[in-house]
C-alpha cells in the first residue's frame, strides 16, 4: 500500500464564495464562518481581498486578529498597493499567507492586461518578491492557468517559485477544463518545472461545466498537494469546488487516492448549514454529502437492502458527515444543558449570554410546540444572531384581511426609548401592508428583490423561516426572521434587513457581476 500524502485544504468561502451574487456577509458573520472553518479543520482560510473595499479590509483584519488554528490568507493583485494593503490586514495573524495573482493566458494577456509574456513574468516576480519581503508564506496564482500555453505556464511557475512562492496555485478560472485536461496541466508542471519540489502545487477549479470536484481530484492524482474549495461549492458564477464533496471523495475512496486531510468530517453538515443560513443560499435537497436527501433511501428494494446490510446501498454513514441520528430532540421539560449540547452537535457553540437568550426563546417555542426539532434549534440560534442591539424592534402587529377589501396592517416598533405605530393599506396583500408600515416608521424606502418563507421543520406547527433581500441606494441587504406565525416571520425578516441598513452593515452592490476578480 502506498503511503498516504496530506492534502492541504484551502478554503475560499470568505473570498471567492463571497463573490457569488447575493452571498455577501458582514464582519460578524465572516468571523463566525472563519471560526467554523477552524473547527472543521481547514488548513488555510482565504479571508478576503483587502484592497477590494474598506469592509473587505476590516474583515480580513478581524479574522487575522481573532481567529487561531489556521493560516489566514489575503488576496492581492501583483502590484505594490494591493500587496501592502493585504499585509496591513494580515500582519497580526500568527500564521499569515499573502496570495498574489496575475493572469497568464493569451486571452487575458491580450484583452484584459494588454501585456506581453515578458511583462507578465516581470510583474509576477516583482509581486512575489514584494510579498516575500514581509511574509514568508506566499502563494502565487497564474489566473486562467488552465487556458495558458503549457510552456509559458511552466516558465511563469518556475519564475514565481524562484522569486519565493511557497505555493503555486493553478486556477481553472472559467471552469473550462475537463479531468484529463486538468490532470495533464498539473502533470506537465510536475515533470517540467525544475524547482517544482520547492513549492506545493495547488488547484483552484470553478464549476461552470459541473466538473470542479472531478478536476480537483484529477489534479491530486497528478501531484497537487493543496485543493482550494468552498463550503457548499459557493463561488463566482456556478461556484468553486465543493469542500464537502472533494474531501469525502478522497476519504471514501482512500483505496484509490491514498491521501488524507485534517478535516473533521462530522463538522461538514453543521458548517454547511451555518454557511447556508448566513448567506441565504439554500442547499439543494439532493446535493451530495450535505443535502437533506443525500442519505434518504426511498425505493423499496434499497430500503430492504439497507435493513439487511447497510453497505448494500450506503458508501458513507450519515453520522460521518455530521447528520445526527435522530431529529426529534427536546420538549418543554428539557433543560439548558440539553439545549447547549444539542446546539453544539448542530455546529453552534453558545457562550453563556447567548445560551441564556436562546434558552428563553426555546422555552417560549416549547410552550407553543410540543416537539422541538433540530431545525427549530438552528432557526432559534440563527434568529438570535440576526438580532441587532439598539435598532428597531417589533413590539406588536395586527393584520386585517377579508375577501374583497384591501388588507391593512398596524405595526408598532420601538428603538431605544421611542415607540412608534403606523397603519397602512396594502395593494398587494397583507405583507405589502406590513412592509409599507415598517418603511413609514423607519423612514427607509426599499425595493424587495427576493422574498422566501420556508418551514424549519415538518408539521403544521412548524416555525416559518423567512428571508428577504431588499435594495437601498443601489446596495442589497439581507434580512431573516423566524416565527411560528409566517406573517410575523416575514415582518421580522423585513425589519432585520432595514436594521442592517440602519447600522451600516455593508450591502452588496446591485450589479455585483462586474467585480474585479
Q: Which residues bind Zn ion (CB under 5 A)?
A: 16
Of residues 217 and 467, the one with the C-beta less far from Zn ion: 217
CB of 110 to Zn ion, least distance (A): 21
**Largest CA-CA distance found in the chain, in angstroms, rounded:** 79
CB of 185 to ligand KIV, least distance (A): 13
Task: Check residue 316 and report its DSSP letter.
Answer: S
CB of 52 to Zn ion, least distance (A): 14
Angle of helix 27-40 relative to helix 374-386, nearest 10 degrees, comes to 140
**What does each C-alpha distance from 436 to 64, 337, 388, 450, 489 come to in angstroms?**
41, 42, 21, 16, 16
| CA pair distance 116, 104, nearest whole angstrom | 9
| Residue 424: φ, ψ to 5° | -140, 155
Residue 488, contacted partner among ligand KIV, Zn ion, none, CB below 5-8 A by kind? none
Residue 265, contacted partner among ligand KIV, Zn ion, none, CB below 5-8 A by kind? none
CB of 88 to Zn ion, least distance (A): 23
Of residues 10 and 392, the one with the C-beta less far from ligand KIV: 10
List residues near ligand KIV by CB under 6 A. 16, 101, 141, 143, 169, 171, 173, 204, 206, 517
Of residues 104 and 486, the one with the C-beta less far from ligand KIV: 104
CB of 300 to Zn ion, least distance (A): 44
CB of 503 to Zn ion, least distance (A): 31
Of residues 19 and 383, the one with the C-beta less far from Zn ion: 19
CB of 235 to Zn ion, least distance (A): 6
| CA pair distance 204, 158, nearest whole angstrom | 19
Of residues 173 and 232, the one with the C-beta less far from ligand KIV: 173
Residue 101, contacted partner among Zn ion, ligand KIV, none, CB below 5-8 A by kind? ligand KIV
Angle at 299 between CA 294 and CA 301, to 5 degrees: 120
The DSSP H or E segment spanning 445 is none
Residue 141, contacted partner among Zn ion, ligand KIV, none, CB below 5-8 A by kind? ligand KIV
Angle of helix 179-192 relative to helix 212-221, nearest 10 degrees, comes to 30
**What does each C-alpha distance from 298 to 141, 295, 301 come to in angstroms?**
45, 10, 9
CB of 11 to Zn ion, least distance (A): 13
Residues whose CB is less than 8 angstroms from the CB of residue 94 and which lie 6 or more positions away in sequence, other chains included: 68
Comparing CA positions, the residue from 342, 6, 52, 5 lying closest to residue 14 is 52
Of residues 135 and 229, the one with the C-beta less far from Zn ion: 229
Residue 152, contacted partner among Zn ion, ligand KIV, none, CB below 5-8 A by kind? none
Of residues 242 and 487, the one with the C-beta less far from Zn ion: 242
CB of 166 to ligand KIV, least distance (A): 16
Of residues 243 and 489, the one with the C-beta less far from Zn ion: 243
CB of 228 to Zn ion, least distance (A): 8
| CA pair distance 91, 83, nearest whole angstrom | 12
- 3-class secondary structure per residue, 386-407: HCCCCCCEEEEEEEECCCCCCC
Of residues 30 and 204, the one with the C-beta less far from ligand KIV: 204
Q: Do residues 290 and 244 touch, judged by C-beta distance below 8 A? A: yes
Residue 404: Cβ within 10 Å count: 4
CA atoms within 13 A of residue 19's CA, in its CB half-sphere: 23
Angle at 315 between CA 311 and CA 318, to 5 degrees: 100
Residue 56, contacted partner among Zn ion, ligand KIV, none, CB below 5-8 A by kind? none
Of residues 97 and 206, the one with the C-beta less far from ligand KIV: 206
Residue 143, contacted partner among ligand KIV, Zn ion, none, CB below 5-8 A by kind? ligand KIV
> In which residue are the cell numbers 446501498 written?
313
Hey, what's the cell of 149? Answer: 500555453
Amino acid at each position: 500500500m502506498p503511503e498516504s500524502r496530506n492534502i492541504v485544504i484551502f478554503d475560499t468561502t470568505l473570498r471567492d464564495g463571497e463573490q457569488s451574487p447575493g452571498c455577501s456577509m458582514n464582519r460578524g458573520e465572516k468571523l463566525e464562518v472563519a471560526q467554523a472553518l477552524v473547527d472543521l479543520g481547514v488548513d488555510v482560510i482565504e479571508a478576503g481581498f483587502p484592497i477590494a473595499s474598506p469592509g473587505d479590509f476590516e474583515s480580513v483584519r478581524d479574522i487575522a486578529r481573532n481567529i487561531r488554528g489556521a493560516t489566514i490568507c489575503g488576496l492581492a493583485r501583483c502590484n505594490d498597493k494591493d500587496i501592502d494593503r493585504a499585509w496591513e490586514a494580515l500582519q497580526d495573524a500568527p500564521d499569515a499567507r499573502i496570495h498574489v495573482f496575475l493572469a497568464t493566458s493569451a486571452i487575458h494577456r491580450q484583452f484584459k492586461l494588454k501585456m506581453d509574456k515578458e511583462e507578465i513574468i516581470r510583474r509576477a516576480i516583482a509581486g512575489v518578491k514584494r510579498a516575500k519581503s514581509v511574509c514568508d508564506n506566499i502563494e502565487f496564482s497564474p489566473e486562467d492557468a488552465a487556458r495558458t500555453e503549457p510552456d509559458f505556464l511552466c516558465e511563469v511557475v518556475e519564475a514565481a517559485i524562484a522569486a519565493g512562492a511557497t505555493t503555486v496555485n493553478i486556477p481553472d478560472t472559467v471552469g473550462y477544463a475537463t479531468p484529463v485536461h486538468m490532470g495533464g496541466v498539473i502533470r506537465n508542471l510536475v515533470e517540467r518545472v525544475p524547482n517544482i519540489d520547492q513549492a506545493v502545487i495547488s488547484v483552484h477549479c470553478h464549476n461552470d461545466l459541473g466538473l470542479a470536484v472531478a478536476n480537483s481530484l484529477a489534479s491530486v492524482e497528478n501531484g497537487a498537494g493543496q485543493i482550494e474549495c468552498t463550503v457548499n461549492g459557493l463561488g463566482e458564477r456556478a461556484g468553486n469546488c465543493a469542500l464537502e464533496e472533494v474531501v469525502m471523495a478522497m476519504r471514501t475512496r482512500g483505496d484509490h487516492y491514498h491521501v488524507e486531510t485534517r478535516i473533521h468530517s462530522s463538522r461538514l453538515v453543521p458548517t454547511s448549514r451555518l454557511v447556508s443560513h448566513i448567506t441565504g443560499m439554500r442547499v439543494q435537497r439532493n446535493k451530495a454529502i450535505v443535502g437533506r436527501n443525500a442519505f434518504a433511501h426511498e425505493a423499496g428494494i434499497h430500503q430492504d437492502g439497507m435493513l439487511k446490510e447497510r453497505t448494500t446501498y450506503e458508501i458513507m454513514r450519515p453520522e460521518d458527515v455530521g447528520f445526527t441520528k435522530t431529529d426529534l430532540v427536546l420538549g418543554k421539560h428539557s433543560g439548558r444543558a440539553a439545549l447547549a449540547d444539542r446546539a453544539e452537535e448542530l455546529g453552534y457553540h453558545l457562550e453563556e449570554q447567548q445560551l441564556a437568550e436562546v434558552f428563553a426563546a426555546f422555552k417560549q417555542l416549547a410552550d407553543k410546540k410540543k416537539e422541538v426539532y433540530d431545525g427549530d434549534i438552528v432557526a432559534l440560534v440563527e434568529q438570535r444572531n440576526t438580532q441587532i442591539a439598539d435598532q428597531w424592534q417589533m413590539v406588536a402587529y395586527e393584520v386585517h384581511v377579508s375577501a374583497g377589501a384591501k388588507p391593512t396592517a398596524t405595526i408598532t416598533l420601538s428603538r431605544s426609548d421611542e415607540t412608534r405605530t403606523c397603519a397602512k393599506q396594502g395593494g398587494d396583500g397583507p405583507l405589502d401592508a406590513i412592509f409599507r408600515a415598517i418603511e413609514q416608521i423607519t423612514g427607509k424606502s426599499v425595493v424587495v428583490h427576493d422574498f422566501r418563507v420556508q418551514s424549519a421543520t415538518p408539521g403544521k406547527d412548524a416555525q416559518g423561516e423567512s428571508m428577504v433581500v431588499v435594495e437601498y441606494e443601489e446596495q442589497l441587504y439581507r434580512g431573516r426572521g423566524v416565527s411560528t406565525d409566517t406573517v410575523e416571520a416575514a415582518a421580522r425578516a423585513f425589519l432585520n434587513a432595514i436594521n442592517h441598513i440602519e447600522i451600516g452593515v455593508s450591502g452588496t452592490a446591485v450589479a455585483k457581476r462586474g467585480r474585479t476578480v
